[in-house]
Each structure stands twice: as structure tokens, then as C-alpha cells.
Structure 1
Amino acid sequence: MGQSTEMEAGAAGLQIAIVGAGLAGISAAISCALAGHSVTVLEAAKELSEIGAGLQITPNGSRLLQAWGLPQTVWDEAAEPTILTVHRYSGKILACEPDFDKRIRSKYGAPFVDLHRVDLQQALHNRAINLGVKFHLNERVEIVDPTGPTLATKLGHSYNADLVVGADGLWSRTRECFLGTVDEPKPTGDLAYRIVLSMDQIEEPVLQRLISNPEVHFWIGPGAHAVGYSIKGGKMYNLVLLVPDDLPAGVAKQHGNVEEMKKLFEGWDPILTQLLSHVNTVEKWKLMHRDELPSWINEAGNFILIGDSCHPMLPYLAQGANSSLEDGAALGTILKSVTKREHLSKALHKFEQLRKLRSEAIVKETFKQRNDFHMRDGPEQEARDEIFLSQLGKEIVGAFPSRWTCPVVQHWIYSYDAIKEAEKALEGEVRTSVKSHC
């Protein structure tokens, strides 16, 4: 199998091998290191240089970043939106929550922030290194043998561990090892155009104000919607366009045609089309999903999947990143009392009991949000807009078509504290996260 690498164990901890240095993997690395375990992360990429795009970190995620003691620079580079607005695609306002930043902090004790992915990943990576986590880049895992467990990489190296954590994302190789078969993601029928604009590209004062004064804007229309928000402390603007998928089968990402993209949004809000006029190049990303797995844990109790490898999410509630942070936080907390292999399986099943139902429920909620944001013009859309407008300028009560401010769904998602819930699970108080639907 080539060169074998034994990982160093902590004084009383486990040897944990994490496959993937995305948000789920690095979060799990931090959390497991804080729990006293020896952690090694194997990453297929040659360097951790994520292509720039925005992330919306909601309070269920930001409270974990606070708990992990990330540096002030992360918060300095963030943009905290003061208003969240939902527009009809023409520009007409359907919903608007002023003082969004203050309301969120008051309700949940943690902020809603918009970040550049690179800023967050680098901060998490540095924190993990400071905690003694070892990173091995350019190590593509090909085989996970649970009898060790042992991991074999494309370069011919092998790594032994007490626990293997598959956190290698949507196109997960560890999932295939877990299932023992090829298992490709399935198309959702949507794709995303992802755009980042810098302030120095923008000349129009109205757009400059939009970028420098952080807000979140949604434009919802027939079969598509767009979301825009500031990042980098109000110096850049992140724009995501969600439209019907026209990529060929088997193609996950492709260079997009800017004029073709603009044509899809002809007749939409002039603010949105003005923003699109500054786009020179764009990429198209097929949005994929996965079937639910019966379990995330193998029979031997030494191999587990987390994050997008087992519960990828449509980006319509911004919970893919936040759920990955939750998984990482919960895993390390659950494992903090485990020092022997024979106790691993029981702990991992506590983790699964805590995380699986919640994650899969959020996945379902993202599809419901797509339905409410992509309605074709007609009676159903008119009924939706009536619900929106009946509560415009009022305190929202009951079910609401935008889950971003729906008092039921927002509270269910944002109030969750993965560390506290994991601590309760250790005490035998695993709570099933149940909600009413919007």
C-alpha cells in the first residue's frame, strides 16, 4: 500500500483522520482537537485557495465561530446586513425587515454575517493549526478500509486511525467507500450563476450605496430568483442567480455566457440588471442533491460521514455552510468523553441521533423555499404575494413564504446551538428538532 503513516495520539485521545478540508472537515478538526484528540486532515487539493464567493453565516453558525475563538479579522471582513428585503422580480417590495442586524442579535445572541468564503476558511484553517491539527494537502483518498481503519491515497500513502470522518463534500469519494459502490449526486433541476463584484468596478452612486451599506436583497420570479449581499466589510458584492438547469448531463460546472445570463433577467428590477451589466465573466454550477442514507455510520463504528457527503443542501436558506459548522461542532463535543475505541460506536450513534433528522429536515425545507420563490405568475403566486403584502411593515406572525424571516422556520434554524445540544446528548437528553412548516 506504500508508505504508512502513524498519526500521533494525544495524551488520552483518539487518532482521528478527516477526509476533506472544507467547512465541515475543518470545523470537525477544530472541535475534535478542542476535545483532546489527535487530528489529521487529508485534502485532495494542492493548496487551500477556495475560489472567491460569499457565504451567509446565520446565528446557528456564527455562535460556533465565536465559541472557537476565531480572530477579530474575520468579523472585520464580514458585512452585517441591516435590512433584509424580498422583491417581486419587477422590483416591487414584498417583504422588508428593517434593523435586521439588531433584531437578529436580540433574538439569538449571535450575528447574521455575510463573509467571503476564503476569509472564513483561512481563519478556520489557522485556528486548527494552532490547535495542533496536521494537514496533508494533495492527498486524494482512494480507499477507506474499516478493518483498520486505514486510508490509502492516490500517491500511495496510507494512514491509520481510530476514526475516519468523511467530509469530502458533494462529490465524496468516502461516501462511495462507505457504500461500496459508485454513487453520483443527482441534479435538482436548478443551476447557479455565482458573481462577485468589487466596488472599483462600480460607478453608479446607487449601486455604490447598495454595496457599502450592507443589506440582503432577494428578487423572486417565475422559475428563478436572485440574491445579493455585501461582503468584505461592504467593499464587494456577492450575487447568486438561481435558474433552471440547462447544463448537459454529467457536466457539473461550465463557463457561462454573460449575454445569455443577462437575457434570463430581462425585465427584472433595474437595480439587478444594472448590477449584471458589470459582469464580464461568469461560471455556471449545477445544483445537486443526494438521497438520504439509512445511516451515516458504518457497522464497525469507526467511519462516519458529515456535511455535504451525506446531506448536501440547495443554497436557498444558506444552510449548507452552517449545517457543516454544526456537524463539526457536534462531533467534537460528542467525542470529548471518548478515549477508547470501544466507546466510539455508542458516541457516534448519539451524534447521528442528534444531527440526522435536523439536517434532513432542513434539506426538505430548502426545496419548499425554492417552490415559494420560483412560482410562475398566476393564482398561486398571487395568493403568495397577498400573504407577503398583508404583513408588510408589521411584525410577522404565523407561516410566511420567505423562511428568512418566517418566525417559525427562522427560529427553528437560528436558535440552534450545536455545542449545547451535543452536551445535552452526552447527558442523555437528545432532543429531536421538530418544527411547524411555513
Structure 2
Amino acid sequence: MSEKLTIVIVGAGIAGLSAAVSCALAGHSVVVLEGAKELAEVGAGFQITPNATKILQRWGLGEEMKKTWAVPSSCTVHRYADGKALWHEAKFAVNIQRKYQAPFVDMHRVDMQKILYDKAIELGVSVKLDHRMKEVRMNLDKGLPELELMDGTVISGDLVVGADGLWSRCRESMLGVKDQPLPTGDLAYRIVLTLDQIQDEELKQLVSSPALHFWIGPKAHVVGYSMKSGTMYNIVLLVPDDLPPEVSRRPGSVDEMKGLFEGWDPILTRFLGCVTTVDKWKLMHRAELESWTNKEKNFILIGDSCHPMLPYLAQGANSSIEDGCVLGRVLSYAKTREQLPQAVELFEKLRKSRGEKVARETFFQRHDFHMEDGPAQEARDKIFASQLGKEEAEVKFPSRWNCPEVQPWLYGYDAYQEVDEAVKQHLLSS
């Protein structure tokens, strides 16, 4: 019989709860420690791509997700100044489902977090709120990692999983030094509009008919999509960072935001005319780590604690779901505690190179979407024009969301298959 491992996960965001569900499905005992006093995912909408929806559906969450998701039927990339379609994929949803046997959907983060939380509780996971972490260390007498909380409580387990986000204390514990996130040079204005905030009938119709829209321009771009079954609209505006170095988030000026997009597509500026309040978020990243694990292979990092990403491919949360899935699936093959280090090594082997590759790709997408008007932009737009009118792009493409080279490895990834094939290759011996 398999031994049941005790797994302690720090953080109850998308990464932590995904790992909790996956590890519980693998038959292990899971405790999630969350510093917040209540479960409230920060943020607004997010896009769940097929590499993650296929996992969530396999976990039996598809029916709950359908209650609030919006499926974007088409994908359009607009030129910033006049809204002209540089690219339009009319059958985006149909094409995605056909190619990857899983949908591309848009949801509110709070809804997804609650669905994962409810599944974790159903599987017997213990989620402890208001448990603020101080540090993770090795108990050399027990040979186990232990976690000390701010109130002095000490909790130990066979495996500690740091899923505590960009400002990770677990990362600091692993490295033994304070390690601050690095600015990317961009910030995001995040906006959520409900239908009752929109009086313009044309805009209401756009919200009620889910589709994915990008507006790309000099040093900036915007993404807009429906969520909450087409009753809410999520807009993210990505612009150069002007926040002080020590400030990661603050309320923004609506007038300043509108001024940055003066002269852009009237459809976009009409949406912005509905906005009454807005927040500014500094977009941060991290240097790549030499390893995501400690030398004993019983303490690991996942999600934004080790591979935070620019949001330009919507892969931060999706990659975190992949991390959680792969971790649990690898541990489903670990039959004894003695196999844990080998399983952790396999997890890192399978996840580190992909996670870091996706993070690097987000910077390439920024480059192609943020070109200033000039020869490079004109060359880019010629590539768009060469494909306009086709059902799908057929050449290396400036929008990686539709690129026939990038999209397949991004969306076609199958976490279960990757682990199962690796185990078949005797990368985790019995």
C-alpha cells in the first residue's frame, strides 16, 4: 500500500489550491496555510487556456466553471488609432476546441478560486486562514521541513510547498536572503465593468457577445473580454510604469488613464468613459532560480514564487494550475516516503524549463504588441495583413495567441500525459 504523505502548502491562491486538489487526488494528506483572514483572490478577470481547462475538467470542475465562464467566440487584434482589424479569427472558440480538445474561457478570479477551494474541501484538504508564515527551515533531528508561523506555532510535514506568490516568504526561506521582485518597466490599469455601468447599447452588445479583443499601439496595449456569462467586462491596459520604486499598487487617476489612450479606437475610449475608479499595478518579475527545491528535496516553490510572468499571454494562473497538477500527479506515483526526493526531482525536471520558457515568451509578446509607429511596426503589420481573411494564421505570427508555432506548445501541453510518459521512461523508479 502507498504511504500517505503530509503536504503543507503555503498560500491559498490559484497555485496553492490547484496543488492542494491535485495532491489530495493523489491520496495524500494536505494542509493549506493562508495568511489572509478571508479567502479573497486579488484581481479581476483571467483567461483560462486549454492547457489548464483540460486539467480543471479532468478534476471534475467543468460544470461549475460553466455557470460563470464566458467563451470568446472570436479573437481580434486592432490597430490602436482607428480600431482597424489587423487580425480577426472568427472561429477562435471552435478552432481552439478542435485543436486541443479543451476550451478557452474567461472567468473572474474569485469564481475560480472558490471552485478550487470547494473541491479541495470536498477532497478532505484542511485550509487554515489567518495563518501567517514567518519562515521554513529544516528540522535536522526529524529530517523534515518545518514551518514557523508569526504567532510561534510550528508545523511540519513530509513536503512543504511554497505557493505564496510574487512576494514569497517561502522563496526568501529557500534562498536565505531577502529577494525583491524586479520591475518590468510596465504597469497595468485593471478595470471591471458591469452591464449596469454601461449605458451605450453598442457596448452592452459587445459585452453580451463574448469575444477577445486586443488593441496594440506604441509602448502599450489593451485587452478586453467578457466574463460572468457575458454580464461583466474585463479591461486591462498595459502601459509604461510610472509608479515609484517602492510602490507596487495604488489607486489610479481615471483622467490620467483616459489621457494615455486619447486618440485610440473610439470603441475603447467609450468603454473607458464608463470607468469611475481604477487601480494601477506595477508589473514585476523575478530572476530565474538555479533550483525550485531545497537540497533535501522536501521543500519546493511553485507559481509566482518561482516563475512570475508578464500577463501578456495570460499564463500566470494557467502555468500555476499546471504546476499543481504535475506535482500531484508525480506524487501519485510515489509509493513510499523514500521516493519523495526522486518525485520532487522529477517535478522540477518537468516544470522548471517550461515555466521559465513561458515567462520569457511574455517579454517577446510585449515587444511585438508595443511597437512604436515606424518601419518595424509596418513590417509587423504586413505579416498580420498577409493572414487577414484566413480562418487561422499559417505563418510565424506577431500575436502568439494565434501563432501556429507558439500556440501548439503553449495550449497543447498535457500535464497528465507528460508525467505519465516520464514515469514510463523510468524517471521515477519503483
Common fold by TM > 0.5: yes
Structure 1 stretches lacking a partner, 5+ long? 1-9, 431-438
Partner residue of 2:188?
A: 192
1:39 partnered with 2:30: yes
CA deviation after TM superposition for structure 1 residue 397, in Å: 1.4
2:123 pairs, out of 113, 119, 131, with 131
Q: 1 CA distance for matches of 2:298 and 2:40?
A: 30
Q: Which moved more, 1:64-73 or 1:235-244?
A: 64-73
In the alignment, which residue of structure 2 is the partner of 1:434?
Answer: none
Q: How many residues align?
A: 421
Q: How does 1:68-83 map to 2 (within 5 A)?
A: 68-70=59-61, 72-83=63-74
DSSP-derived class of the 1:396 partner: coil
Distance 2:270 2:138 in 1: 54
CA contact (8 A) 2:186 2:283 kept: yes
How far is the alpha carbon of 1:267 from its aligned partner?
A: 0.2
What does residue 160 of structure 2 align with?
A: 164
1:341 Cα deviation from its structure 2 partner: 2.7
Residue of structure 2 equivalent to 1:92:
84
Note the 1:218-257 alignment, pairs <5 A.
218-257=214-253
Matches of 1:46 and 1:208, distance apart in 2: 36
Equivalent position SS for 1:77: coil
Pairing partner for 1:181 from 169, 177, 182: 177
Aligned 8 A contact 1:151 1:159 in 2: yes
User: Using the alignment, how far apart are the partners of 2:423 and 2:314 within structure 1?
Assistant: 28
Deviation at residue 71 of structure 1 after TM alignment: 5.7
Overall identity of the aligned pairs, in %: 60
CA contact (8 A) 1:146 1:303 kept: no
Encode CA deviations 1:386-408: one digit per residue, 9 max, x unaligned.
11011101242121000000011
2:317 aligned with 1:321, yes or no? yes
Partner residue in 1 for 2:411 = 414
Counterparts of 1:39-438 in structure 2, within 5 Å, are 39-51=30-42, 53-70=44-61, 72-90=63-81, 91-147=83-139, 148-394=144-390, 395-428=392-425
SS of match in other structure, 1:194: strand
Question: Structure 1 414/429 Cα, relative in aligned 2: closer, same or farther at 3 Å?
Answer: farther
Q: Are the aligned partners of 1:313 and 1:363 in contact in 2 as well (CA < 8 Å)?
A: yes
Please, which runs of 5 or more residues in structure 2 have no aligned partner?
none
CA distance in 2, matches of 1:127, 1:327: 17
Give 1:345 deviation, angstroms.
1.0
Q: Which residue of 2 aligns with 1:27?
A: 18
> Is the alpha carbon distance of 1:175 and 1:51 closer, same or farther for their aligned partners in structure 2, counting shifts above 3 Å?
closer
Secondary structure of the corresponding residue to residue 67 of structure 2? helix
- How far apart are the structure 1 equivalents of 2:424 and 2:349? 13
**What is the CA RMSD across the aligned residues, in angstroms?**
1.2
Tell me, yes or no, if the aligned pair for 1:212 and 1:230 is still in contact at 8 Å: yes
Which one is further off, 10-19 or 251-260? 10-19
Cα distance in 1 for residues equivalent to 2:73 and 2:394: 21
TM-score, structure 1 as length reference: 0.94
Give the corresponding residue for 2:6: 15
Q: CA deviation at 1:257?
A: 0.6
Q: Report runs of 4+ in structure 1 exceeding 6 Å deviation.
A: none
Q: Give the drift of 1:103.
A: 0.8
Judged with a 3 Å threshold, the aligned counterparts in structure 2 of structure 1 residues 51 and 175 are, in CA distance, closer, same or farther, namely closer
Cα deviation 1:186-218 (Å, max 9, x = unaligned): 000000000000001111111011100000000
Instruction: Tell me by how many angstroms 1:11 deviates.
Output: 7.5
Counterpart amino acid of residue 89 in structure 2: E
Q: Is the 8 A contact 1:13 1:338 kept in 2?
A: no
Return the TM-score normalized by structure 2. 0.96
* Between 288-297 and 392-401, the greater mean CA deviation after superposition: 392-401
CA distance in 2, matches of 1:146, 1:229: 46
Distance (whole Å) between structure 2 residues aligned to residue 389 and residue 223 of structure 1: 21
